[in-house]
């Protein structure tokens, strides 16, 4: 496994605990593919439990809710943007006589724009979750560390997904 891929796995584990919190916790809302109930199996397993176990103060809870709301809104915006991109590409490819080179260039341009937007959104959401983390006391931070470690262990037991690595 390359250092870049190892770092990516670590980042994904942390994201599953902090950056992905609200996505997993939205009542009746969208869930990540394969995710199930708040403490069920899936990429967000145990997140609700961690939230309960942290016994957040009122100030910490407010930061949590802000980060959660930002995460939810960001995911929604990015899903909408992806749908718009797909629709635009579909409209282009549906035109008779479409030049495939120009279509590929448009696809590349839209993908790069989406990647830039996603990186900016990721940083904003991550910063909000680090605001929560910074408000935690030493015991709470240790609980988060252990939860991330355990999440990484669960991910490692599931093993690599089949197919080629993405960007790796």
The pLDDT score that the predictor gives to residue 1 is 53
**Contact residues for 75 (Cβ-Cβ < 8 A; gap 6+):** 22, 23, 30
Share of the chain above pLDDT 90, in %: 54
Q: Is residue 76 within 8 Å of 141, Cβ to Cβ?
A: no
Q: Is residue 45 within 8 Å of 25, Cβ to Cβ?
A: no
Q: Show me where the domains of the chain are located.
A: 3-26+42-158
**Contact residues for 110 (Cβ-Cβ < 8 A; gap 6+):** 85, 88, 89
pLDDT, tens digit only, all 168 positions of the chain: 555 554 445 444 445 445 444 333 333 333 333 333 444 444 445 677 888 889 999 999 999 999 989 999 999 999 999 999 999 999 999 999 999 999 999 999 999 999 999 999 999 999 999 999 999 999 999 999 998 898 888 877 776 655 555 444
Please tell me the distance from the alpha carbon of residue 101 to that of residue 20, in angstroms, as a whole number: 37
Between the two ends of the chain, the Cα-to-Cα distance in Å is: 10
């Amino acid at each position: 496994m390359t250092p870049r891929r190892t770092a990516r796995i670590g980042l994904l584990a942390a994201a599953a605990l902090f950056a992905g919190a609200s996505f997993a916790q939205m009542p009746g809302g969208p869930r990540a593919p394969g995710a199930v109930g708040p403490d069920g199996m899936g990429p967000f397993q145990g997140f609700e439990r961690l939230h309960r176990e942290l016994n957040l103060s009122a100030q910490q809870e407010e930061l949590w809710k802000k980060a959660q709301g930002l995460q939810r809104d960001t995911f929604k915006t990015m899903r909408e943007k992806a749908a718009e991109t797909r629709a635009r590409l579909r409209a282009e490819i549906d035109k008779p006589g479409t030049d495939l080179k120009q279509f590929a260039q448009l696809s590349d341009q839209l993908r790069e724009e989406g990647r830039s937007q996603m990186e900016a959104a990721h940083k904003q959401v991550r910063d909000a979750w680090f605001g929560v983390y910074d408000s935690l006391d030493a015991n709470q931070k240790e609980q988060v560390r252990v939860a991330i470690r355990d999440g990484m262990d669960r991910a490692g037991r599931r093993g690599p997904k089949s197919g080629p690595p993405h960007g790796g």
